[in-house]
Amino acid sequence: MQTDRGLIVMELKQISNTRWVCQDSMLRTVYKRFMLLYELLPDVIENDSNSDRVIEARRLLYQFSPDFIETLFALRHIFEFLKNTSDLLQSPELDNSDALELLEVLQERLNDCRTDATM
């Protein structure tokens, strides 16, 4: 379906419990292709012969409540902040005062997310 619309094919990666980059990558992919995914799931449910895939499509479609969608979009921003901060904190040139400043900026951004209704 992505190629039918002239889009670059994107696949979800296996989620890792410990790597921010995996979480951010997965959320970024879902964020970019959410509407396509939402349109594709009913087609999979109706036409796919793989019963496991049909069950998974039904499960995903059922979970696309307004609360889920709102949470997805909020987490997308939060994980982007976390990944960027994590990447910067791993820099060998970073000293303790710069690291502390980065963490303070992250804390401010996360606090802004808590109060920003438009996020």
81, 110 contact by CB (below 8 A): yes
- Kindly tell me if the per-residue pLDDT of 30 is higher than 70: yes
Task: Please write the tens of the pLDDT for every residue from 12-28.
Answer: 555 555 566 667 777 78
Give CA separation, 57 vs 52, 60, 72, 104, in Å.
9, 5, 18, 41
Cβ proximity of 10 and 29 under 8 Å: yes
Return the structure tokens found at 8. 């670059």
- Provide the pLDDT for residue 116: 64
